[in-house]
Structures are given as C-alpha cells and as structure tokens.
Structure 1
Amino acid sequence: MTWSVLKSSDRRAWFAAGVRRVAPPRIGTTLGIGTGVLASLAPGLLPRTPSAQAVLTGLLAALALGVGGILRITLRRCGFDIDERQAWARLPLLIATAVLVAGAAANAEHWQNRLRAAMNTPPIGTGYWVRCALGAALIIGLFACATRAIAWAARKLGWARGVSLAAVVAVLLYLVGVPAMVGWRESVYARANAELDPALVHPVSYSGSGGAESAVSWTSLGAEGRKFLSGPPARAVRVYIGVASAPDLDTRVALAIRELERSGGFTRSHLVVTVPTGSGWIDANAVAGFDQRFDGDVALVGLQYSYLPSWATFVFGRDAAVTAARTLFTAVERHIQGLAHPPKLYLYGQSLGALGGNAVFSGDAEQDGRTCAALWAGPPANRVHRGGATVLANSSDPVIHWSLAQLWRAPDLTGARVDAPVPQWLPVIGFAQTTADLLGALHAPPGHGHRYGTDQGTAMGSC
C-alpha cells in the first residue's frame, strides 16, 4: 500500500503512531533520570575515576527512575495520569533537564579539576565524560531491562502468584543465600589472612614477635601482623598478637604481656598501645613516625581482633574493636603500675582503630588521666575524646565525614586539616556523595583522603 492510496484517516493514524514512537520520554522518566544524574554530579570530596562516576550516576539515576515509576503507577491507580494530562510538557521538560545536566557536568568538571590541582593529579577532560556517559547508560539500560522482565513475569503469573513467589525468593535469600554469601566471603578473608607472602622477611631480631625466641608463631600472626613485624628496620620493639595466636581474647592479651616482657618492651621509656584497623593493619607510616618521635626508645604492641575489611568490621563487628582495645590497654596499664620504672603509656589508632581506642575511656578527663598522650588518625565521623589527644583528620577524608546523621546535618569537621576544597553540605546528597567517596578513600594521593603519613607518630603529644 502506497502513501497515495492511504485514506486520510489512515494517514493521520500512521503519522500519530510515528510521532508516538519518537515522542520525548515520559515525564516521570525524564524527572527520575535527571534527578539521579544531577545528584551524582554534586561536588564530592575526592577525585573520581570515570568508572566510579559512571557507577554512581547509573545507580542514582536507576534508583530515582524506580521511585518515579512507583509514583506514576500510584497516581494512575488514583485516576491521575500525568503523562496524558501534561503531555505538552514532555519536550520542554526534556530540554530543561538536558540544560541542567550539561550545566551540572560543567560545574562537576570544574570542581574535579580543583580537587585534582590541590592533590597534584592530572585534570579531566571530554574523554572522561564520554566514558562516564557510556557506563551510566549501560547501568540504566540494564535496570530498565530488569524491571521490564519483572513486570512481564508479574503479568504472566498474576498478582497473587507473583507476590507469593517473590516472598518465597526473599525468604530463601535471607535464610540461605545471605548466610552462604557471608560464609564464602569470610572464608576468602580467612585464607587471605593465613596466606604467607614470600616477600616478607621472617624477623630474626629478639625484640619482636614471630622470631625464634618468640612464643608467637610466624604463621599465627596473620597477613597484617607479618607486614607490621617485617617492615623497614626500626629501633622500636614491635609486638603483635594475631587472632590465631591464641584461642580467646584473654589468652591473647596475656600473651601480649609476656611478649613485651620477653622482648624488653617494658624497659623502654615509651610504650604505645596501637589499635589496628578491622583487617589487623597498622600503618607503617605510624611505626616509622613513632620510631622517629621517640628516637627508637619505644615499644609498640598491637592485637588483631578481626581479619575482615574495616568496613565489614565497622558495620557488623565494631564491638570487637572496642573490647580488644579496652582489654589490652587495661592489662598493659595494670602491669606497668607494678614496675619500678614504668614506661610512659600512649594510645594510637587509625580509622576503626581510633574508634576502638577512643572507647577505652568514658570521656576526655579519663583519657587525659590514664595516658601520657593519645593520637587518633582519621577517626570515623570525627568523633573522639580530645583530652590529651592529637587528632589527625584530612578535610578530604570521607571517613571523618560519614555517618547516618549526615543525611540531615552537616558533618563536624572540628580540628580537620583543610587539604583540598570542601564541598558545601547538602541533605541526603552529601551522604550519597560521601558514601561513594569511601570506596576511593585509600586510593587518594598521600596526605589526602584516608591516607596519613609519619605525623601519625611524630605528632604524638607528651606529658
């Protein structure tokens, strides 16, 4: 059938169908994707790779699109179809949203380059945004396909059977899938903790754990403990007790005291109780800083309480950090009280270690009274006792910003060192941006983000 023989009504119907096929997206779609993209382009704390920005943009846009879809269905069931009543607004809204997104991208590029200039990293350009757009579009497309597939399955099954099936799947995931996933990840982390790195040198010094004279075996120290003890040569006594070094916390603490006695740690003028991060890591920069600060006349003791990543321990097992820090510090404190010439006692922690160490005391006065000094580096939410303590906090460190309270109030940056431009806080959006920045906190250049230097030791106070 040719155009010339089509009836007038058929031509109009054909034309209308063509217009519908190329019509602008629904109002909810434009608003959803636009809102998510604009939120993802708000200023953050750290430079981002194109892939990180693409994931953030794609996830926020998909989330906003999903919320918009739910609202559209709800309104339609209430007898209000915004796409029919306000169909004329589709194209103007699309154009306005595109202009806003372009402006937000330009502002985001300016902000990213300000951050990069402050951190001495290369600026971004057009290629960055091309990769971001492609990655975000892929994520949004996958989300759209998944929702369409779910909707199709729901129509085929019917409302009752669809809800029943979803409930069964949810219960199975909760009872079987989640525990299986958690167990698998724990086994992965346990293997990583036990794995021996041939590049690490087994210490032969008498003044450290894991050596021939030590009651602590080299294999029981864990991956981070072996790194701590085989780091660059230092004059400090280094004692470390791994999770596998003894069957329970009290036995591990008693073993730490015996190791300090054996290695001469209590004969040093200064003794630092170092609280590791969730994985058992003690920053080598802090070790070097303490060695420099006390001219080698210092002993360091650390006790591993977990081999999981810090984020996992923070979410699921932060009490372990608190209990381990309190038990070890109290045992060391009691032991030196019986010595004729006790060393000065200090406490140090970075990140989750700062949270655990801080919980040893009930307040500033107690902390000041029971320690010669304390030092906290990158404390979560920047909330620590400050009596007698030095607090190191980069303003670009998302760890000191992040807390659930950031959803509705600005973070407390008291005492933070301004190392880069700090974005203005926005409700909800600031929380989302900080959460995204947490993933790259340890990949920032030295002195920025969650990376601290030898000042973790050299800045320790005195008494």
Structure 2
Amino acid sequence: MRRLVVTAPPETTAPRRGSWLPTQRRGPIAKSTLPRRRVVRCGLSVTGFGLSAVFYCLSFTPSLLPRSWFLQGVVAGLTAVLGYAAGTAIGALVRLRCWPSRRVELIAWRLLFALVPVLILIFLWLGTRWQRDLRIRLGMEPQQEYDAMRTVGVSLLTFGLLLLTARLLRLAAHGIARLLERLVPESAAYCAGFVVVTVLSYGAFDGLLVDSLYTTADRSAAITDSGTGSGVVRPDSVLRSGGPGSLVSWDSLGRQGRNFVTKAPTPRQITDFTGRPAAEPIRLYAGLASAGDVRQRAGLLVREMERTGAFDRAVVAVFTPTGTGWVDNDVTSSLEYMYGGDTALVSMQYSYLPSALCFLFGRTQVVDAASALITAVHDRWAAMPAGARPKLLIFGESLGTYGTEHTFGTAEKMVAGADGILLEGPTFANPIHQRLTRDRAEGTPVWDPSYPALPIEFASRAEELRSRSGPPPKVVYMQNSSDPVVWVSPSLLWHRPQWLHGERGPDVTPAMHWYPVITFWQTTVDLIFANKAPTGHGHVYKSGTVDGWAALAPPPGWTTADTVRLRDLLDR
C-alpha cells in the first residue's frame, strides 16, 4: 500500500522592513506580502514621548506674565502635544535611514521611565517658584502650593484628548489607505490617505470651526453692542452725542459709544480736583449704525464738533478705539481733569469684534476708520487761523496705534501732524514703531529705545517720563516691558528676541529664557492674561496715561505733584 506524501510549498521569505526588494504578486491585484501596519493598537513613539517630556518641562519656565493653574495646565498639555508631534516626525525620519534594534528601543524606554518623572517633579517645583516670584514682581497675590497638582491633572487630560484626536485622524488615514491599496501601490495608498484626511481636517477646521466661530462671535458682539451698560442713561446735555439736538441718535452709538459719552467727570468733580471752576467736557462719538461708511461717520462727527463748539475748546483730542469701540475712561478722564473740562473728545467705532479678532481678520477696518476720522478733524483744524486753533491731540491704544501709524505713514508726518500723539501698547506689526526701534540710538535697549533725530519719546514705565528734560516731545510711545502685545511676533519661533538679550525690562523676570517654538507659544498665551495684569504691567496702562499726557501737552502750571495726585484719584 502506497503512502501519500504531501510536501509543503517552499517558504517565501518576506523582505525586511524598509527593503527595496519588490513584492511578488500573482494577478493584477495580488495583496502585498509586507506585514500589515497596526491601525487600532499602536504604541507610543519613543522619540515622541522623549521630546514631549522635554517640551512639557519647558512649558513651566516663566514668560512675561503669570498664569492661573488651569491655564498653565492647558498650556503644558498643548506644549507636550507639540513636542510629541515633532518627536514622532524625527523618529520617522531616523527610521528611514536606519532601523534601530529592539534592544536599543527598550533601553531608551527604560531611561525615559527613570528620568522623566524626576524631571517633571523638578520642573513642577521650579515652575511654582517662578510663578510665585513673577506674581510678587507684578504686585499680585501668590498661588497656593496645591495648585501644582491641579495643573498636572489638567495637563494630562489635555494631552490625552489631543493625542486621542490625532490617533482618530490617523485611523481614518489608514482606513482610506486600505481601500485604495487594491488599486494603487501601498506607499501611494498611504500617501493618498494622509492627504485626504489632511485636506478634510483643514476644511473642517477652517470652514466649519474658524468661520463658524468668527460668524458666531460677530453676531454675539453685535447683540452685545446693542445693549447698554449698567447705570448708563441718555445724556441731557447738548454737548454729548445722543443728547438733545445731537446729529447722532442715542440708539446708533452702540454699547461702547454710550459708555464713552456718559462717563465723563462732572464739572463738580473736576472742580474738586483743580480747585477752580470747570467747564463741562464735550464727548462725541459715532457708532457703526450712525452712518453708512467710515467717511460719512467721520463727516458726521465733524459736524457734531461744529454744533457743540468743540473747536473753541483748549484741546481737541481724537481717539482711535480698540476693536469693539472701547476707549479706556481713565485715558479720557485724565485729559479732562488736567484741562479743567475745557476739552472736546471724539471717537468712532469700526467693528463689533475685540482687537485680537480684528487684528487677525480685519486690520483694514481700523486703518480706514482712523484715517477717515483723523484726516477729517485735522483738515477742519488746519483750516483755522494758527493763533486761534486748539491743541490737537491724538490717542491710540493696542490696535488703535496700528491705525494711527498707517494714517500718517512716517514718523516725520506724525511729528508734524498734531500737537501731540500718545500711543500705548503698540503691536509688533506697527511699521513706524518697527523702524524707530530698529534705528534706535546705539546702546539703548529695545524695550526703552532712544531716537534723538525726532522729538519722539519711549517709556517702559510711565514714571520715567517725569524725569525727562528739554522741550516736550511730539510723540510718546508707552510700552510696558511685560506687554505681550508689543513683544509677541512670529520670529519668536526661530529667533531669540532682543528684549531677552542683556539687560531686561523692569518687570521681566531674569529667569525667562528663549527656547525655539516654546517662547513664541508662551508669549502668545500671555495675550490671554494681558488685560488682567495690574496697572503698569502687561497691556494695562490706565492711570499711567496721566504721565503720557503730562509729557506731551501739560497745561500751564502743571507739576509732577499734580500728576501723582491725579493718578491716585483715577486709581481710586
């Protein structure tokens, strides 16, 4: 009886991973013999985990402003994700050149497991100290010690959610690649899957998220703008827009416009400060609904100025507001107290949105509005006899400084265009500010430059304006050395800024250092807290404006003691 012998076919040796050998196929759509990539279960990248740990630790290093425990946790989690993404990409590039052995990878993991917890504990301790010192430097209450544990919890949650989102996107890319693999080579299929997911994700982010958020924010801001602040009532004075005989209706002023025209100090309050009889200040404003476009609104305000006798006052001041139309009442009131109410202040709204959104999506709005209003007022003022003109002062804060600079175009025209221009918290995109800083006198720091060629003064602290000598400047830039609006810029991603070279600004901690990507990210996050810092720090100038006005255009007999007394009054 014969025995049936079955012989197995010869084994086919699969090519090594990364081999250039072609895959043997049977038929037009034979499956690849390369090992399948894990799609659902995928371990962490050793290089990604290592760099994420480094980024996580660096996120606790100090920046310009202190952060709350919750914000620090979110920042740490986001920073760790950035590190993980960069580390994973580096690991992928390394594997293209040489595939490390399993033994090397295990050793790397053991080292990370031993070192990372120690490093995190050290930087948590250092970060707590840095935050406490920074808060003390800015005159703020220190945080509690147990906030560090809450920070860790928020950071881990943030990191986990973002990593899960990235893994889901990766899963989608793998799924699309599996479908395409039957039609095209494997490498092309995975490339196409990545491209499809990237395009769809960008479209969802830009079209659905960004556009929807912008539209929602615009509508919400428009609704808010239609409201009226607590205690704000329609004025009964003919010297205010929205009042009796005004060419601008009360309803068209918007929320910030109604605040602007009603919150001026009364003649009685001004008299109590000056000790002399005071005039009633003139305040005029045009909202977005007051006229059809910026030129019509500017022309409307000039007619309002003629109606109220604004050009007969000692001072006419034009204010370019922030995005929502807001003007700091400390800035306006300080000028009215200094001149005994003999002032006429005008401003005009150009957007419903905050300055940050206007800066990103609509900088032309502030330029058009500032140019229309400043030009209209200046032309009417310049047509008066030289000896009969009031002082023409111009003010801009934050995005308002950007619009003011673009209106004049050059520093020389700013100096010649008004009796005084006060600019607070200029943005990094301001063209004139960039030129003046770049061409500053040798040996002066970038945070407090000197430009002797023109009567232009810079101040990193308001009080330093009191000690200057000589004739008054024509332009004053007030820029707190801890103001992220002034110092954040895209170049922080790859270049160490000059404000972190050598001597630091008076409220910048010596513990702050520059790290690629990290410093840009941290300074950008500082923008969130910039308006919540104490006066004289961050993006908060408030009563410090008195020093600016006193340096530019002091009224007769004004003294440093008057400046201190008025600042105390405004701070109360």
Same fold (TM over 0.5): yes
Aligned-partner SS, 1:239: strand
Return 5+ residue gaps in structure 1 as ranges: 1-23
Q: How far apart are 1:201 and its partner, in Å?
A: 2.0
Aligned-partner SS, 2:395: strand
Matches within 5 A, 1:54-453: 54-81=73-100, 84-159=103-178, 160=180, 162-163=193-194, 166=197, 167-168=199-200, 170-171=202-203, 174=206, 178-197=210-229, 199-234=231-266, 235-340=280-385, 341-381=388-428, 384=433, 387=456, 388-407=474-493, 408-411=495-498, 418-419=506-507, 421=509, 423-453=512-542
Q: Deviations over 1:23-61 (max 9, x none)?
A: x97532431321221231121111110111011000010
Residue 265 of structure 2 contacts residue 333 of structure 2 at CA under 8 Å; is this kept in 1? Answer: no
Aligned-partner SS, 2:228: coil
How many angstroms apart in 1 are the aligned matches of 2:319 and 2:102? 61
How many angstroms apart in 2 are the aligned matches of 1:417 and 1:456? 19
Q: Deviations over 1:313-353 (max 9, x none)?
A: 11111122122212211111110122242111111111111
How many angstroms apart in 2 are the aligned matches of 1:417 and 1:75? 42
- Amino-acid identity (%): 31
Larger Rg belongs to? 2
Relative contact order higher in (CA < 8 Å, ≥ 6 apart):
1
Tell me the equivalent position of 2:16.
none
Q: How far apart are 1:230 and its partner, in Å?
A: 1.8
Q: How far apart are 1:150 and its partner, in Å?
A: 3.1
TM-score normalised over the length of structure 2: 0.71
Q: For the structure 1 residues 298 and 437, does the alpha-carbon distance in structure 2 shift closer, same or farther, using more than 3 Å as the test?
A: same
How many angstroms apart in 1 are the aligned matches of 2:340 and 2:105? 75
Residue 50 of structure 1 contacts residue 132 of structure 1 at CA under 8 Å; is this kept in 2? Answer: yes
Q: For the structure 1 residues 304 and 39, does the alpha-carbon distance in structure 2 shift closer, same or farther, using more than 3 Å as the test?
A: same
Aligned-partner SS, 1:454: helix
Q: Which amino acid aligns with 1:357?
A: T
How many angstroms apart in 2 are the aligned matches of 1:150 and 1:140? 16
How many angstroms apart in 2 are the aligned matches of 1:83 and 1:217? 77
Q: For the structure 1 residues 180 and 108, does the alpha-carbon distance in structure 2 shift closer, same or farther, using more than 3 Å as the test?
A: closer
How many angstroms apart in 1 are the aligned matches of 2:101 and 2:414? 61
Residue 289 of structure 1 contacts residue 458 of structure 1 at CA under 8 Å; is this kept in 2? Answer: no
Q: Which amino acid aligns with 2:225?
A: N
Residue 293 of structure 1 contacts residue 458 of structure 1 at CA under 8 Å; is this kept in 2? Answer: no
How many angstroms apart in 2 are the aligned matches of 1:83 and 1:231? 72
Q: How far apart are 1:362 and its partner, in Å?
A: 2.8
Aligned-partner SS, 1:260: helix
Of 71-80 and 312-321, more deviation after overlay is shown by 71-80
Residue 205 of structure 1 contacts residue 211 of structure 1 at CA under 8 Å; is this kept in 2? Answer: yes
Of 327-336 and 144-153, more deviation after overlay is shown by 144-153
Q: Which amino acid aligns with 1:443?
A: K
How many angstroms apart in 2 are the aligned matches of 1:349 and 1:64? 39
Residue 320 of structure 2 contacts residue 395 of structure 2 at CA under 8 Å; is this kept in 1? Answer: yes
How many angstroms apart in 2 are the aligned matches of 1:114 and 1:416? 16
Q: For the structure 1 residues 227 and 173, does the alpha-carbon distance in structure 2 shift closer, same or farther, using more than 3 Å as the test?
A: same
Q: For the structure 1 residues 263 and 439, does the alpha-carbon distance in structure 2 shift closer, same or farther, using more than 3 Å as the test?
A: same
Residue 500 of structure 2 contacts residue 514 of structure 2 at CA under 8 Å; is this kept in 1? Answer: no
Q: How far apart are 1:222 and its partner, in Å?
A: 1.5
Q: Which amino acid aligns with 2:492?
A: Q
How many angstroms apart in 2 are the aligned matches of 1:73 and 1:411? 35
Q: How far apart are 1:78 and its partner, in Å?
A: 4.7
Q: Deviations over 1:82-115 (max 9, x none)?
A: 7653421322233333333333333222221111
TM-score normalised over the length of structure 1: 0.87
Of 91-100 and 127-136, more deviation after overlay is shown by 91-100
Q: How many residues align?
A: 440
Structure 1 segments of 4+ aligned residues over 6 angstroms from their partners: 413-417
Of 153-162 and 340-349, more deviation after overlay is shown by 153-162
How many angstroms apart in 2 are the aligned matches of 1:168 and 1:135? 29
